[in-house]
Structure 1
């Protein structure tokens, strides 16, 4: 067994049960809802989260406390020599920087915090890649270097069903939200590296899906230099609508044939800001080692 433990957080979409099956430790992300503390996949399910959003509850994201991280790291280091910790992208949360500072001050040479700009299914893939490298005997330093070296080789496109939650979170103005709602726009957002940015505006869901699929194809051909089918992963995500997610999976697989697309619920830390009914697709270059 590898003496390097892999830890990620629940933004990866890896549940506590799946983590046990995969041999990956998962830090539950904390939320504050109407003044009460909740932890993803511990006392807060996907269904409960979106029910509270629908009730217009006051929902805010948080980050793991230093004490909770150190308690977990100390426990894991009883059985492992080193830890690779892959939190959500530093461009979307301060939790990565906090973890990095703790590791530098208290766990130098023991805990390696990886900021490779991933979230949701792309973060999940990084955790799986790290586990495979650890099992293959690579050092913690080599795993860190490979994940950082390939951090920009991934894209995410997300189509929103509503502008309500972006407006509520102050990420767009009420006037822009009202106009978008009036025109029934379906914004398509992108993550390439650190930030969640606007990419395109669609008038219909069908147009938005087409925009995302064409963007993925363009990335494969241009941004990643025309990768062969076996050299990349395609994955999808959705918020609070498994039926729409499964239909989306079929559409992407038909448009980009030759693979079985992994599908997960989108991270609640992202879902908090974009709301239910969203669909996402990602492309990530396979890590070779």
Structure 2
């Protein structure tokens, strides 16, 4: 009888209590300073990064091969026969390819690696669904097919105060730095089919950007139910106010989660980030 493990990386932004409840294994990305490197969400928290941003902007890196290898070793030692790995978008990180490379060394484990094409809760929703399907005792192949298919149900949007951090981290994609130099113009960034950032639209100021995010939710829930996740990086009041507005949009919103982005995403987005992830229900 198969025993299925679910593995992801720390860019999923899922809270630790939910990860523990669902029995998910999370491999940490790395945050790198000149003085040394930290494991995302284990050795470092967002507060540390914010406090040091004016002194040094760190870089990030995919999980270490050693951490990935150790995770596969652990699930094998616990009697798992199958592993479903769901990674951050290959368009934003080399994590997906590293998972695949190391998975090939474990011939006695049936490992399938999915490129989520997303990050944050857009990845997290896929991980949660996979864990749910495992508990429902679906066959491994059926779980893989369902997770691949559910990507079409997910949309992700991000508003940042400045593009400087995305530009410095090399993750700006097609998001032109021109927007960041225009007076008080805030781009709304989404993720394309290749899992790369692109500018969806722009707004004059943060307040107008948040109104546009609210309209995106309203457009989604006019004809279908949806789960909503709002993530933030040092924008707690804006995120909570946004959540309050979303709650007034009707009964088609099944649940709303408000939480923090991981330390690795803090590095890329900087302070002031508000992210919106929508998972449409069938």
Structure 1 partner of 2:67: 68
Structure 1 partner of 2:207: 206
CA distance in 2, matches of 1:243, 1:152: 30
Which of 218, 230, 234 pairs up with 1:236?
A: 230
Structure 1 partner of 2:146: 146
Query: In the TM superposition, what whole-angstrom CA distance separates every residue of 1:157-199 from its partner, at most 9, and x where no partner exists?
Result: 111112332343454777x36632xx11111111243111111
Aligned CA-pair RMSD: 2.4
186 and 113 in structure 1: CA distance in 2 versus 1, 3 angstrom threshold? same
1:17-166 correspondence to structure 2 within 5 Å: 17-53=17-53, 55-79=54-78, 80-107=80-107, 110-166=110-166
Where 2:151 maps in the other structure, the secondary structure is coil
CA distance in 2, matches of 1:173, 1:136: 44
178 and 132 in structure 1: CA distance in 2 versus 1, 3 angstrom threshold? closer
Note the C-alpha offset of 1:219. Answer: 4.3
Structure with higher strand content: 2
CA distance in 2, matches of 1:61, 1:201: 27
Q: Number of residue pairs matched?
A: 276
253 and 73 in structure 1: CA distance in 2 versus 1, 3 angstrom threshold? same
Given the two structures, how large is their TM-score scaled by the length of structure 2? 0.88
2:191 is the alignment partner of 1:197: no
Structure 1 partner of 2:260: 265
Work out whether residues 159 and 186 of structure 1, in 8 Å CA contact, stay in contact via their aligned partners in 2.
yes
Work out whether residues 100 and 113 of structure 1, in 8 Å CA contact, stay in contact via their aligned partners in 2.
yes
Work out whether residues 238 and 278 of structure 1, in 8 Å CA contact, stay in contact via their aligned partners in 2.
yes
Structure 1: gaps of 5 or more residues: none
Note the C-alpha offset of 1:2. Answer: 7.8
CA distance in 1, matches of 2:109, 2:35: 38
261-270 or 127-136: bigger deviation: 261-270
Which of 257, 277, 280 pairs up with 1:282?
A: 277
Note the C-alpha offset of 1:104. Answer: 3.4
Given the two structures, how large is their TM-score scaled by the length of structure 1? 0.86
Work out whether residues 41 and 262 of structure 2, in 8 Å CA contact, stay in contact via their aligned partners in 1.
no
Work out whether residues 15 and 26 of structure 1, in 8 Å CA contact, stay in contact via their aligned partners in 2.
no
Query: In the TM superposition, what whole-angstrom CA distance separates every residue of 1:62-86 from its partner, at most 9, and x where no partner exists?
Result: 0112222111111111222211111
Where 1:261 maps in the other structure, the secondary structure is strand
Note the C-alpha offset of 1:35. Answer: 4.1
Query: In the TM superposition, what whole-angstrom CA distance separates every residue of 1:71-111 from its partner, at most 9, and x where no partner exists?
Result: 11111112222111111111211101221222235347522
Where 1:69 maps in the other structure, the secondary structure is helix
CA distance in 1, matches of 2:60, 2:86: 18
